[in-house]
Amino acid sequence: MISRRTLGPAIAAVVCIGVAGCGATTDKAGGRQAGHPLVLHVLNTRSAGEVQPFVDKLTAVSKGMLQLKVEDKWERGSPTADADVIGAIQAGAADLGIDAARAWRGVGVTSFDALVAPMAIDSMALQEKVLAGNLPGEMLPALTPLGLDGMGILPGPMHKPGGITRTLLSPADYKGARMGVGASVVVDRAVQTLGAVPVASGFEGADLRPFDGVEQQASSIAGDQYDDVVGTITDNVHLWPRPMVIFGSVESMHRLSALQLGWLRSAARDSLDAETTAQMRTDTDDIQAMCRRGKTRFVDATAAQLAQLRTAFAPVYAWLDQNEQTRRFLDQIAELRTGVTPYPQETLSCAGETPASTLPAAPATPLDGTYRMVSTQQDGKSDPDFQFPENWGTFIYVLTRGRFAFTQENAAACTWGYGTYTVTGHRTAWTFIDGGGIAPSGAANKPGEHFEFTWSSYRDTVTFGPVPGAISPNGFYLEPWHRLDSKPAPSHLSARCPPPATALTG
């Protein structure tokens, strides 16, 4: 079954420029040869979804003549990935890098510090307004002394406190806590000011049990299934965002024409709204999945506790204000905050979500039975998810009275999943309770994932399709399902990677 979380590179190979080595030819003005699309090799330390609106906008504004080949989650799980990508671009390993703004203080660049100052940018709406103004243009030239050229700054998710051994509401709750953090000089300073000990983590599945709390975006806690460890998320404490800087080496960018450089910069600027919307949609989707697992609670700090936190961060601001430029940027951000209202989607909650494992078995449904579906990697050649072996092969589905179990296998992967489903007319909705198996790319289904489809049947064949506005992985409808048995027959499931024996009984 298709996992909607992309874990590897999205490939769009046409013609690459020299620094990343695909053998393209450029004219003397640094532009591409007429009629040949140009592809830039990009190292992105985060997921594909975080930068896809920018990638799409660049394709649109250049009419397909400038494209990106993106290596997503570069150095996945490494605490030093944000620092390493800067050196990689300086060394010519790729044409562009996309890296967290918080990382740059570690290489001597202070111009982005104001973006990650504690509680300075306290909503996605304010972050979008800040990045749409003059500040990025004033911040990016600081990369020039490093031999780098900044193209733009993309909005990133808001980081909130996640409590493991304690609920993190007021400054007193942080005293003596070991906090898992993304590597950042400014973040470390802020955490230390609260009396906690910052410990760098690459997250992405790293063990969080040694920590008392973390600073992370809610979608990361949900998507990495850290709700097994993180008991609470303080929803209304927006510690700082994680904006992303798009940059290339000066040498690499000099090989582009003025027109091509303009496309890059305008794509970064014009994708801000779509990037912000995508970030909030990811939070909503992942949080819904987490809420269906029923393990983590959202809590809110009181107005008094919020005020206490702001007061406690005063020493950090005194330190940041020593830099005249940072002080001026912080003043501009404070002015921009006037009149900004957070987007409604920024408030996260588990209200209305019922843990899938508690749902009772339903009456018999029109889909009950046992099915086989076979797909190949070529079936999804236009979908980057199909590069992962977990997403194609031989699928066996067993459905009975609102509960499903399935197995998927090919030579490289063998996965299983199970959960609950409903059928309403010619629509069906599936919610996962668990998934696992042999998943070399980590693309097995996750507890709480929720998919919706249309369906139709003819004799012993069932065909599925997407539901507009819902998550409908195309692995369901690229090929039809063929009925093996009108009754649930778990014996057809793969013996190589069977789901738990209780998958269909709860």
Select the highest-mean-pLDDT range: 11-20, 306-315, 430-439, 494-503. 306-315
pLDDT digits (tens, 9 = 90+) for 458-491: 999 999 999 998 999 888 788 999 999 999 999 9
Provide mean pLDDT across the span 330-350.
Answer: 93
What whole-number distance in Å separates Cα of residue 345 and Cα of residue 272?
A: 16
- CA–CA gap between residue 83 and residue 103 (Å, rounded): 6
* Residue type at 442 in one-letter notation: G
Mean pLDDT across 355-369: 74
Topology given in CATH for the domain delimited by 357-492: Lipocalin (2.40.128)
Other C-beta atoms lying within 10 Å of the C-beta of residue 339: 6
User: How far is the C-alpha of 72 from the C-alpha of 46, rounded, in Å?
Assistant: 6
Residue 31 confidence class, pLDDT cut points 50, 70, 90 = very low
Q: Amino acid identity, residue 115?
A: L
Asked if residue 5 lies in contact with residue 65, where contact means CB atoms within 8 angstroms, the answer is no
Provide the pairing of β-strand 427-438 with 450-458: antiparallel
Amino acid at site 169: L
Q: Which amino acid is at 126?
A: L
Q: Which two tokens stand for residue 265?
A: 């910069």
Read off the tokens for 215.
């600073």
Strands (E), 45-147: 66-71, 96-100
Higher pLDDT, 476 or 171: 171
CB 67 within 8 A of CB 38: yes
Supply the pLDDT for residue 222: 87
Q: At residue 468, what is the residue type? A: P
Provide the pLDDT for residue 22: 40
Q: pLDDT digit string (tens) for 248-273? A: 999 999 999 999 999 999 999 999 99
Residue 140: pLDDT band (50, 70, 90) is very high
Cβ atoms of 114 and 329 closer than 8 Å = yes
Is residue 9 predicted with pLDDT exceeding 80?
Answer: no
Structural contact between residues 376 and 429, judged by C-beta atoms closer than 8 angstroms? no
Q: Single out the residue of 487, 481, 415 nearest to residue 453, CA to CA.
A: 481
Task: Tell me if residue 228 falls in helix, strand or coil.
Answer: helix
Helix (H) or strand (E) holding 150, with range, is: strand 148-154
Residue 82 phi/psi, 5° resolution? Answer: -65, -40
Phi first, then psi, for residue 491 (nearest 5°) are: -65, -20
| Residues above pLDDT 70, as percent of the chain | 91
Which element (helix H / strand E) includes 458?
strand 450-458
Residues of the chain by 3-state class (helix, strand, coil), percent to 5: 35, 25, 40
Amino acid at 78: S
Count helices and strands in the chain by DSSP H and E runs: 12, 20
In CATH, the number for domain 18-159+238-346 is: 3.40.190.170
The backbone torsions φ and ψ at residue 257, rounded to the nearest 5 degrees and listed phi first, read -80, 165
Spatial CA neighbour of 157 closest among 5, 310, 51, 79: 51
389 pLDDT exceeds 50? Answer: yes
Percent share of the chain, pLDDT over 90: 72
**Better pLDDT: 22 or 354:** 354
Residue 131 has pLDDT above 50, yes or no: yes
Residue 23: predicted pLDDT: 36
**16, 421 Cβ separation under 8 angstroms:** no
The residue to which tokens 């695909």 are assigned:
22
pLDDT digits (tens, 9 = 90+) for 304-316: 999 999 999 999 9
Question: What type of residue is 269?
Answer: R
Looking at per-residue confidence, does 159 or 36 come out higher? 159
Closest Cα partner for 159 from 283, 52, 48, 292? 283
Other Cβ atoms closer than 10 A to 244: 27
pLDDT at 386: 77
Short-list 59, 43, 57, 58, CA closest to 10: 43
Helix axes 272-293, 48-61, angle to 10 degrees: 150
Confidence of residue 361 (pLDDT cuts 50, 70, 90): low
Q: How high does pLDDT run on average in the chain? A: 89
At residue 354, the pLDDT reads 64
Cα(176)–Cα(331) distance, integer angstroms: 32
3 state DSSP class of 180: strand
Query: Mean pLDDT over residues 56-84, rounded?
Result: 92
Ranges of each domain in the chain = 18-159+238-346, 357-492
DSSP 362: P
Q: Is the pLDDT of residue 358 over 60?
A: no
Lowest mean pLDDT among 171-175, 188-192, 445-449: 445-449
Q: What is the pTM of this model?
A: 0.73
pLDDT band at residue 506 under the 50/70/90 scheme: low
Which single residue is written with the structure tokens 């090919």? 410
